[in-house]
């Protein structure tokens, strides 16, 4: 869907492989908005930790959307911003109070799910060297953040300390036994999917227009597909068929939502 009167100057900082960047990209394409793209290397160069980016997004994560003097530093804020800014393309605009509340609940539940855990557990199960490499990279990120903390002013120090804590929690989590921690994530994934309708009411979950819940669910299903968990024991057949059909649409393709891993693109940050 291309808007005949695009609003220019939407600038997205994002990474191709990043789950939350996919949410932002898909929401932008569903809004019919072209955007300027600033691709980040979040794995090798860890550009998200560099001071110039921390000044834009103190959380030091991607995505970030910059538009009209506003900075939206996380995918949930970007989703809400786009719905408010480009209302004609979204279900929420004319939905009843109950409809909006329902969408908000589904979106909130999605953001409570630690998708990174599911993803890295699956990759570690498939590729044993990653079980060693990933903690090495996390420890390196911690060392860099400790250095940054020593040189930071008081404002920046709070954000860096939080990021450091997050990486330490990641290290602790990924030291737990792999099979047990992934069994738990799969159970949580099933519970999350069960909170969504078993089948959509129209082209989208709630009828003719997409909602934020459609965006997060479809990107979540794409991630389940990437890690080999888009099967009947996790995803109801009608939702799975709907997902397959959406993967063929222009907005989905243009948003570059990954339905499988692209090791070469991961290595080359494209
Ligand atoms: N709540 C944030 C989470 C963003 C996030 O965790 N992004 C990941 C990539 S998917 C990231 O930037 N990771 C790099 C890091 O944590 O250093 C959002 O919704 O945008």
Please give the distance, rounded to the nearest whole angstrom, from the Cα atom of residue 62 to the centre of ligand 1.
Answer: 5
Please give the distance, rounded to the nearest whole angstrom, from the Cα atom of residue 73 to the centre of ligand 1.
Answer: 10
pLDDT at 134: 92
pLDDT at 155: 81
Please give the distance, rounded to the nearest whole angstrom, from the Cα atom of residue 5 to the centre of ligand 1.
Answer: 31
Residues with Cβ within 8 Å of residue 195, at least 6 apart in sequence = 105, 106, 109
48 lines ligand 1 (CB under 6 A): yes
pLDDT at 267: 78
Distances (CA, A) of 52 to 1, 29, 213: 34, 27, 33
Please give the distance, rounded to the nearest whole angstrom, from the Cα atom of residue 76 to the centre of ligand 1.
Answer: 11
Per-residue b/e over 29-45, b at no fewer than 16 CB within 10 Å? bbbbbebeebebebbee
Domains in the chain, CATH or no CATH each: 11-268 (3.40.30.10)
19 lines ligand 1 (CB under 6 A): yes
pLDDT at 268: 79
pLDDT tens-digit readout, 115-133: 999 999 999 999 999 999 9
Angle (CA) 213 193 205, round 5°: 40
20 lines ligand 1 (CB under 6 A): yes
Return the HEC string of 81-149: HHHHHCHHHCHHHHCCHHHHHHHHHHHHHHHHCCHHHHHHHHHHHHCHHHHHHHHHHHHHHHHHHHHHH
Please give the distance, rounded to the nearest whole angstrom, from the Cα atom of residue 240 to the centre of ligand 1.
Answer: 26
Residues with Cβ within 8 Å of residue 72, at least 6 apart in sequence = 64, 65, 66, 78, 81
pLDDT at 265: 87
pLDDT at 223: 98
Q: Compute the distance between CA of residue 16 and CA of residue 267 in angstroms, rounded to an integer.
A: 11
pLDDT at 5: 52
Please report the atom of ligand 1 found closest to the CA of residue 42.
14
- Average pLDDT, consecutive stretches of 10 residues, N- to C-terminus, the chain (270 residues): 61 97 98 96 90 93 96 98 98 98 98 97 95 94 93 88 96 97 98 96 98 98 97 96 98 98 81
Rounded to 5 degrees, what are φ and ψ at 59?
-75, -15
pLDDT at 6: 54
Name the residue with the closest Cα to ligand 1, atom 18: 74
pLDDT at 15: 97
Name the residue with the closest Cα to ligand 1, atom 14: 61
pLDDT tens-digit readout, 177-232: 999 999 999 999 999 999 999 999 999 999 999 999 999 999 999 999 999 999 99
pLDDT at 7: 55
Q: Compute the distance between CA of residue 192 and CA of residue 74 in angstroms, rounded to an integer.
A: 21
Please report the atom of ligand 1 found closest to the CA of residue 24.
20
Please give the distance, rounded to the nearest whole angstrom, from the Cα atom of residue 63 to the centre of ligand 1.
Answer: 7
Q: Is 160 helix (H, G, I), strand (E, B) or coil?
A: helix
């Amino acid at each position: 869907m291309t808007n005949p009167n695009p609003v220019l100057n939407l600038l997205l900082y994002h990474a191709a492989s990043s789950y939350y960047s996919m949410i932002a990209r898909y929401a932008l394409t569903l809004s019919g908005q072209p955007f300027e793209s600033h691709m980040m290397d979040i794995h090798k160069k860890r550009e998200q930790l560099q001071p110039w980016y921390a000044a834009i997004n103190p959380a030091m994560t991607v995505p970030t959307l910059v538009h009209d003097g506003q900075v939206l530093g996380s995918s949930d804020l970007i989703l809400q911003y786009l719905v408010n800014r480009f209302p004609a393309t979204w279900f929420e605009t004319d939905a009843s109070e109950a409809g909006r509340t329902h969408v908000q609940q589904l979106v909130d539940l999605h953001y409570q799910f630690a998708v990174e855990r599911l993803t890295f557990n699956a990759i570690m199960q498939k590729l044993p060297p990653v079980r060693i490499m990933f903690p090495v990279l996390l420890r390196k990120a911690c060392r860099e953040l400790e250095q940054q903390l020593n040189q930071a002013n008081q404002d920046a120090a709070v954000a860096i300390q939080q990021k450091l804590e997050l990486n330490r929690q990641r290290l602790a989590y990924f030291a737990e036994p792999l099979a047990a921690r992934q069994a738990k994530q799969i159970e949580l994934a099933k519970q999350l999917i069960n909170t969504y309708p078993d089948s959509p009411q129209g082209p989208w979950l709630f009828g003719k227009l997409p909602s934020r819940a459609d965006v997060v669910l479809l990107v979540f299903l794409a991630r389940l597909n990437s890690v080999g968990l888009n099967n009947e024991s996790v995803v109801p057949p009608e939702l799975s068929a709907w997902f397959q059909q959406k993967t063929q649409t222009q907005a989905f393709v243009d948003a570059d939502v990954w339905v499988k891993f692209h090791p070469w693109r991961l290595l080359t940050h494209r």
